Amino acid sequence: MSSRSYAGSIQLPDTNIIFRNIKSAKRFAIDIGGSLTKIAYYSTIAYRKALYNISGDDSQGTNQQSGGSESDLYETSEIERLHFVKFETKYIEQCLDFLRINLLGRESVSGKIIKVTGGGAYKYSDLIQEKLGLIVDKEDEMACLIKGCNFLLRNIPDEQFEFDKHGDPQYKFINSDPNIFPYLLVNIGSGVSIMKVESDSSYERIGGTSLGGGTFWGLGSLLTGAHGFDELLDLASEGD
C-alpha cells in the first residue's frame, strides 16, 4: 500500500483556498482542543447538466438559435458537501477574523447559534461571541465523539481496519457487525481518554492519561527544534 502523507495545519492564507466553498457555507461546528482546533461545516454546490436532444429532432438547436433562455438548455441541481479543517489553537483569533470577514460580509449571523465542544468551548466562548456575534451552544465532548464514532461505524464502508506494521498489506479493512457494541474508544488528543461504549446512551470513562499529543508536541519541540505540529509528524513518519 502506498504511503500517505499527513495533511498540513492551516497557515491562515490571504485567499479562501483552505475554507473551500465558504461563500455557500451553511452551518459551522467547532471543536477547540488544547493543541488543535477542528472546524466542520457544510456547503451547497450547484451543478449544471446539459440537456441533449435524445429524440434526434432539432428542438434544442432551434431553441438556441431563436434565443431560448439558458435554463432551457441546462438542468441545475445542488448537492451538499462536508468540509473539515484543522489548525493550531493558538491561531483561533486569526481564524475567527477570517470567518467574520468572509461570512458576515454576505449576511447577518448575529444571534444565530454555533455548536462548540472541547475545553476551548469555555475558554474562547466570549471571543467567539465578540468576533462573530454568534451564540455559543456548548456540547459535551465525549457525547459528540461517541455519537460521531457510532455513525461512522454504521454508515461508512471500510471505516475499521487492523494495522500490522510488518504485515503485507499493513492495513486490513474489516466489515462491521450490525451490532457494533461493546467497544473501547481510545481518544488521543492533548491527553488520552479510554471510553467503554456499551450502547448509544451507555458509556463510561475507564482510564486515561495526561500524556498525549501535548506531551509529544512539547518534548518533540525541545528535542528536535521543530516549530509546528505537522513538522513533528513529518519527522515521526521517518523516524525509528
* Tally of domains within the chain: 1
What is the pLDDT at residue 139?
A: 95
Domain contains 17: yes
Q: What is the CATH number of the domain that holds 33?
A: 3.30.420.510
Quote the cell numbers at residue 75.
438542468
Rounded Cα distance, 188 and 191, in Å: 6
Q: In which residue ranges of the chain is pLDDT below 50?
A: 1-16, 60-66
Residue 203, beta-bridge partner list: 197
Domain contains 199: no
Domain contains 148: no
Separation in Å, CA 204 to CA 116, 143, 185, 188, 189:
22, 10, 10, 16, 18
Domain contains 175: no
Domain contains 120: yes
What is the pLDDT at residue 1?
A: 45
**Which range marks the domain in which residue 18 is found?**
13-48+74-139
What is the pLDDT at residue 15?
A: 42
Q: pLDDT tens digits for 213-240?
A: 889 999 999 999 898 888 998 998 888 7
What is the pLDDT at residue 230?
A: 87
Domain contains 187: no
Domain contains 177: no
- Per-residue DSSP letters for the chain? ----PPPPPP---SSSSSSTTGGGEEEEEEEE-SSEEEEEEEEEEEEEEE---SS--SHHHHHHHTT--GGGTEEEEEEEEEEEEEEEGGGHHHHHHHHHHHHTTTS--TT-EEEEESTHHHHTHHHHHHHH-PEEEE--HHHHHHHHHHHHHHHSTT-EEEE-TTSSSSEEEEPPPS---SEEEEEESSSEEEEEE-SSS-EEEEEEES-SHHHHHHHHHHHH---SHHHHHHHHHH--
Domain contains 26: yes
What is the pLDDT at residue 13?
A: 39
What is the pLDDT at residue 11?
A: 44
Rounded Cα distance, 141 and 229, in Å: 22
What is the pLDDT at residue 71?
A: 54
Query: Would you state the torsion angle of the CA atoms of residues 99, 101, 105, 111, taken in this order, to the nearest 10 degrees?
Result: 50
